[in-house]
Amino acid sequence: MNHTHDKEDSCCIKKHAEKEHIHSHSHEEGEEHDHNHGGDPSAFKTYLPALVTFTMLLIGIAFDNIFKVEAFALVRPYWYIIAYLPVGIPVLQEVWETFKAKDFFTEFSLMSIATIGAFCIGQYPEGVTVMLFYTIGELFQMVAVNRAKRNIKALLDVRADIANVFRKGKYETVKPEAVEIGETIQIKAGEKIPLDGELIAEKSSFNTAALTGESKPKTINKGETVLAGMLNLDKVIEIKVTKAFADSALSRILEMVQNATTRKAKTELFIRKFAKIYTPIVFFLALALVTIPILILGSDYNFQTWLYRSLVFLVISCPCALVISIPLGYFGGIGAASANGILFKGSNFLDLITKLNTVVMDKTGTLTKGVFKVQKVESNIDEKEFLNFLTAVEAKSTHPIAKAIVEYAGEKEIHPAENIEEIAGMGLKGIVNGKEILAGNVKLLEKYKIDFDSKIKDIEESIVVLAIDGKFAGYVLIADEIKEDSAEAIKQLHLNGVKQVVMLSGDKASIVKKVAGILRIDSYYGDLLPEDKVAKLEEIKKDKTKIVAFVGDGINDTPVLAISDIGIAMGAMGSDAAIETADVVIQTDQPSKIATAIKIGKATKNVVIQNIVLAFAVKALVLILGAGGIATMWEAVFADVGVAFLAILNAVRIQKMKF
């Protein structure tokens, strides 16, 4: 990233951070100026102003204190002024810009007053040093910001720039945005998938790390979904596009991550407001420090001494360490989560997840794989006819059980279904070959008062019953598997401060009980309609001491995700509606990642608190010493830039942690 206005120093970095939604100083939103302040940390010219100033400062100090060249005294003020300009001019330009925006009390103005004041009383090396180290601190901030964003920015690298689409008997290269739903695209081995679609080839192996954080290749078979951002590993394949570019999984992820930095945690918002009040208070205290002693000391008052103390006070009290490191800490947390396949839609949720004490979970697709297979068919009529009627209705549904039935039926003839109606939480109703068909659970039969063998209710596994023209025709038995990490997920939740884990499911109570027993879930409820889940969650939330997360993946989970304190969606298998509604998205579909999200939230909060305590403690100590004349400008530099540097290093630490 290049500086387009020749401001290649620290202040530009701060402005660049603002444009990336890391508000690192006291400007209000909307007061940014039209400067393209970027900064490539590898670009030499970014560091050149600081290097020139540093070299000249060392030479000046050597002539002053080591070589003691008499002739240097004649040019001494001019030497240090020239040394000051490379790092000082951009800061002074920022002061001018902020003054035009009627924002008079910023760290830019504090640094400018302090350094120019030092020059006025002949403290040239100190004045140059303060501005130099301020610039170096900002350079470290730039490097830290770029490091924190690396995991998130990596998502942009997996977005394909082109798509090879089949048109007019040949493949032509176009932008992914130009491809329409239903068209066929070709992807060669080693190429990225540009759009979501259905695999036409028999099977292929894909690297899904960009979407899920998992490095292990995934084999996808013909007819299954492949997502934009996956990397084709095997051979040349063809895909039938099922979603427009803007609606693809990768585009959705990028949008969520970009929006995440705009939702601020309470601590972050407080610090920004605090800086707006704190900075002018500091300025007037510094003014008081240079004027009030006149009234007390009278003729013993030495203007130069008290002005120096006042300038030291200004340098020490600059709020950089707070306003830089706190947003950077939260941004680092979002980046660390992204690297682990977890997307937080805002730093406010990083904060909230640390207080989580109750987790309510859906069963199918969340704790179980949601990959159903037909185990058994029991029918009172010909099995082929039974499956034809059942499949005709279920083909209209996107539910995993419906897909399992259609897959099991295979190439069997499917009658056209008409007037399909979904009975919420029960099943489907439709007309097939002039006959009224009901397909769903036992509740559906009871609703329409259809006689059936009551022994069906005792079957623990999931079943789908079928009724034709008001008569029970049979059922299919469906099996689902518990995810490999579900038991560990529940264990880790309890170890990380979650006192109660609840499972809510629309599945049969007997199955829910069995799964809850295996996973050691605290409480569970089965046979729930979508509105029942909402009622249960509202009942749980009546206890105001509970911070409740709901974890789900289906369209029917959307209302519950919306009313929970934190909505967590399974992103790989989850419905678009669930992902859009949720506050946190688990891209790997692993329930164990919920505990990982809690750990990342706690680590981020600890870093933020450590930075606040460090900044206040050191600044308070040096402020007192500075006002008493004990601390010099050198100690002031450490209190400002040194603390900011330590806080930045601490914030970057989140990226290195193992969760």
Domains annotated for the chain, with CATH where assigned, are 10-154+264-333+603-656 (no CATH), 163-258 (2.70.150.10), 342-362+494-509+519-587 (3.40.50.1000), 373-479 (3.40.1110.10)
Residue of higher predicted confidence among 160 and 171: 171
pLDDT confidence band for 321 (50 / 70 / 90): low
Distance, in Å, from the CA atom of 449 to the CA atom of 441, rounded to the nearest integer, reads: 13
Q: Report the range of poorest mean pLDDT among 202-216, 328-342, 436-450, 601-615.
A: 202-216
Q: Could you tell me which residues come within 8 angstroms of residue 182 by beta carbon, excluding any fewer than 6 positions away? A: 240, 241
Element (H, E) at 608: helix 593-627
Residue 6 has pLDDT above 70, yes or no: no
Please tell me which of 99-103, 541-545, 651-655 the model is most confident about, judged by mean pLDDT: 541-545
Distance, in Å, from the CA atom of 259 to the CA atom of 109, rounded to the nearest integer, reads: 31
Report the relative pairing of strands 203-207 and 197-199 from DSSP bridges: unpaired
Distance, in Å, from the CA atom of 129 to the CA atom of 127, rounded to the nearest integer, reads: 6
Which residues in 429-441 are b (16+ Cβ under 10 Å) and which e? Answer: bbbbeeeebbbbb
| pLDDT, average across residues 478-499 | 91
Distance, in Å, from the CA atom of 94 to the CA atom of 11, rounded to the nearest integer, reads: 7
Residue 160 has pLDDT above 90, yes or no: no
The confidence score (pLDDT) of residue 19 equals 35
pLDDT confidence band for 416 (50 / 70 / 90): confident
pLDDT confidence band for 645 (50 / 70 / 90): confident
Q: What is the pLDDT of residues 361-376, one digit of tens each?
A: 988 888 988 777 888 8
User: Which residues are identified as catalytic?
Assistant: 362
In this structure, what token pair is assigned to residue 111?
């640094």
State phi, psi for 657 to the nearest 5 degrees: -70, 150
- Look at the block and give the residue holding tokens 């998502």: 155
% residues pLDDT > 90 (the chain): 24
The confidence score (pLDDT) of residue 547 equals 93
The confidence score (pLDDT) of residue 464 equals 93
The confidence score (pLDDT) of residue 41 equals 46
Q: Could you tell me which residues come within 8 angstroms of residue 304 by beta carbon, excluding any fewer than 6 positions away? A: 121
The confidence score (pLDDT) of residue 265 equals 58
Amino acid identity of residue 291, one-letter, is: T
Burial of 302 (C-beta count, 10 Å sphere; 0-12/13-18/19+): exposed
Mean pLDDT, the chain, whole residue set: 79
Which residues in 244-280 are b (16+ Cβ under 10 Å) and which e? Answer: ebeebbbbbbbebbeebbebbbebbeebbeebbebbe
Distance, in Å, from the CA atom of 163 to the CA atom of 192, rounded to the nearest integer, reads: 9
pLDDT confidence band for 356 (50 / 70 / 90): very high
Q: What is the pLDDT of residues 47-98, one digit of tens each?
A: 888 899 999 989 988 888 888 777 888 888 999 999 999 998 988 888 898 8
Q: Which of 492, 490, 466, 487 is nearest to 477 (CA)?
A: 466
The confidence score (pLDDT) of residue 39 equals 44
pLDDT confidence band for 43 (50 / 70 / 90): low
Distance, in Å, from the CA atom of 517 to the CA atom of 523, rounded to the nearest integer, reads: 10
CA 492 to chain centre: 22
- Look at the block and give the residue holding tokens 């509970």: 546
Instruction: Compute the half-sphere exposure of residue 641: CA atoms within 13 Å on the CB side of its CA.
Output: 20
Q: Write out 139-183 in H/E/C secondary structure.
A: HHHHHHHHHHHHHHHHHHHCCCCCEEEEECCEEEEECHHHCCCCC
| pLDDT, average across residues 481-509 | 91
Residue of higher predicted confidence among 156 and 328: 328
Residue 237 has pLDDT above 80, yes or no: yes
Element (H, E) at 648: helix 643-656
The confidence score (pLDDT) of residue 470 equals 93
The confidence score (pLDDT) of residue 431 equals 93
In this structure, what token pair is assigned to residue 440?
């769903």
pLDDT confidence band for 598 (50 / 70 / 90): very high
In this structure, what token pair is assigned to residue 32?
């940014």
Q: Which of 228, 261, 298, 291 is nearest to 145 (CA)?
A: 261
CA 421 to chain centre: 38
The confidence score (pLDDT) of residue 33 equals 35
pLDDT confidence band for 26 (50 / 70 / 90): very low
Number of other CB atoms surrounding residue 630 within 10 Å: 12
The confidence score (pLDDT) of residue 68 equals 78
| Cα 530 to Cα 390, 424, 548, distances in angstroms | 24, 7, 18
Query: Phi/psi class of residue 6: alpha, beta or left (left: φ > 0; alpha: ψ in -120 to 50)?
Result: left
| Cα 569 to Cα 190, 229, 484, 548, 642, distances in angstroms | 30, 19, 18, 14, 41
Beta strands of 213-260 (E only): which ranges?
Answer: 218-221, 225-226, 231-232, 237-241
Q: In this structure, are residues 210 and 248 in contact, taking their beta carbons and an 8 Å threshold?
A: no
> Angle between the 303-317 and 266-297 helix axes, to the nearest 10 degrees?
170
| pLDDT, average across residues 14-38 | 36
For the residues of 335-353, what is the DSSP string, one character each? HHHHHTTEEES-HHHHHHG
Please tell me which of 291-295, 453-457, 540-544 the model is most confident about, judged by mean pLDDT: 540-544
| pLDDT, average across residues 104-124 | 77
The confidence score (pLDDT) of residue 255 equals 63
| pLDDT, average across residues 174-185 | 91
Residue 644 has pLDDT above 50, yes or no: yes
Residue 239 has pLDDT above 90, yes or no: yes
The confidence score (pLDDT) of residue 545 equals 92
Query: Helix H segments across 222-340?
Result: 249-260, 266-297, 303-317, 320-339
In this structure, what token pair is assigned to residue 531?
């509105």
Residue 23 has pLDDT above 50, yes or no: no
| pLDDT, average across residues 43-47 | 73
pLDDT confidence band for 2 (50 / 70 / 90): very low
| Cα 354 to Cα 335, 522, 571, 648, distances in angstroms | 17, 20, 21, 22
pLDDT confidence band for 29 (50 / 70 / 90): very low
Q: In this structure, are residues 474 and 437 in contact, taking their beta carbons and an 8 Å threshold?
A: no
The confidence score (pLDDT) of residue 600 equals 94
The confidence score (pLDDT) of residue 17 equals 37
Q: In this structure, are residues 476 and 390 in contact, taking their beta carbons and an 8 Å threshold?
A: yes
pLDDT confidence band for 159 (50 / 70 / 90): low
pLDDT confidence band for 266 (50 / 70 / 90): low
The confidence score (pLDDT) of residue 24 equals 34
Q: Could you tell me which residues come within 8 angstroms of residue 540 by beta carbon, excluding any fewer than 6 positions away? A: 358, 360, 502, 546, 548
The confidence score (pLDDT) of residue 440 equals 92
% residues pLDDT > 70 (the chain): 81
- Paired with 502 in beta bridges are 360, 523
